[in-house]
Amino acid sequence: MKNIITGAGFTGIVIANILAENGDDVTIIEKRNHIGGNSYDYTDEETGIHVHKYGAHIFHTNSDKVWNYLKKFSEWSDYSHRVNAVINGEGVNIPFNLNSIKKCFPPELAEKYTKKLLETYGKDAKVPILELSKTEDIDLKNLADFIYKKVFEGYTVKQWGLKPEQIDMSVTARVPVFVSYDNSYFQDKYQGIPKNGYTKMFENMLKHKNIKVILNKTFNEFSKENDIEGARIIYTGSIDEFFDYKYGVLPYRSLSFETEVQNKEYYQDVAVTNYPSDNDYTRIVEHKRFLAEKSDKTVITKEYSHQFELNKNDRYYPIKNEENERIYNKYLQDAKNTENLYFKGRLGSYKYYNMDQAVLEAIDFAENIIK
């Protein structure tokens, strides 16, 4: 079977690899000048440090299936992610946990909050901030108000242009209050970063005689230049773009990045520091910490959030609400009525995926096609 895949990110590359191993011919069309999608990384020439071009990408999963699949293409570091947020001028652990409480409150009050959290929710519970805010206990209510104002509200407004209560619960629940002393950002069974970078791993996945990759070209450009009749089309780009925005443009948040070399060994205490209140940027990423790379200099990236504007910036995070879902479902119905056309991945599904979720969906999709 002849397959045309639009987009050389995680979803497109995984599908291409599995189909090619099954004997299918696959052509990947990618409008950027590199493979890897938003997970693309490169080596900074001045420092030798691997840089995540489109923001920090830390792989984590509880899926044996996903982990065992990706291990075929790369060795992995045992990196465990840590995140701080600047609160009242001091770096405090995120997700906000029992150690964060110790840093932010006097000992007697911190002990009271800790005890009540443990009694109410239990050890290792993960409590969404909007759920904690509904508590009737006056002490926990005060704690929830502090965390909401100091951590969630400012960051959410900068990141999404909305207050936490205005966005889908699945978004605010992604970084809950963690009733634990564990400072790890994730608690998944498997965590890490490819030892030679994501891009090298993607190159290994695409090393197959049945796979052809074409960069710097859109699907529309390719379809005008080539006969695609009868091909299976797997589109991981934006579904509204494919249908020429006939039902309207689906809203997204976009990002921009300022990357710079700092003439010091380290810039901050952890790989990622969030700025809920201070500065225009949402966070600063220090790249050398991901692979514990050695250099007397360091590379940082300041990350800014913006509204997506067609033909001006890139799509990153879908804005989920009833109206946007209604528009997406119109496009999805048109897709279902078109033979041999499939929309996958974050943009095709209008859904935010962690990397492991994208990989699992891609594996399952490719395996179902083969069956």
Q: Which tens digit of pLDDT belongs to each residue from 237-275? A: 999 999 999 999 999 999 999 999 999 999 999 999 999
What is the pTM (predicted TM-score) of this model? 0.94
Strand 90-94 versus strand 283-286 pairing type: unpaired
Domains and CATH numbers, the chain: 2-77+195-249+319-370 (3.40.50.720), 92-178 (no CATH)
Residue type, 148: Y
pLDDT at 104: 96
Q: What is the four-CA torsion angle of 29, 34, 38, 39, rounded to 10 degrees?
A: 110
Is the previous residue joined to 95 through a cis bond, with omega within 30 degrees of 0? Answer: yes
For 99, the token pair is 């150690």
Does residue 345 register a pLDDT over 90? yes
Among the listed residues 196, 205, 166, 182, the one whose alpha carbon sits nearest the alpha carbon of residue 26: 205
**CA 316/CA 204 separation, integer angstroms:** 25
pLDDT at 320: 87
Query: pLDDT (tens digit, 9 = 90+) per residue, 21-59?
Result: 999 999 999 999 999 999 999 999 999 999 999 999 999
Residues near 53 by beta carbon (within 8 Å), at least 6 away in sequence: 40, 41, 42, 257, 259
Is residue 93 within 8 Å of 84, Cβ to Cβ? yes
Does residue 172 register a pLDDT over 90? no
Confidence of residue 1 (pLDDT cuts 50, 70, 90): low
pLDDT at 169: 77
pLDDT at 371: 83
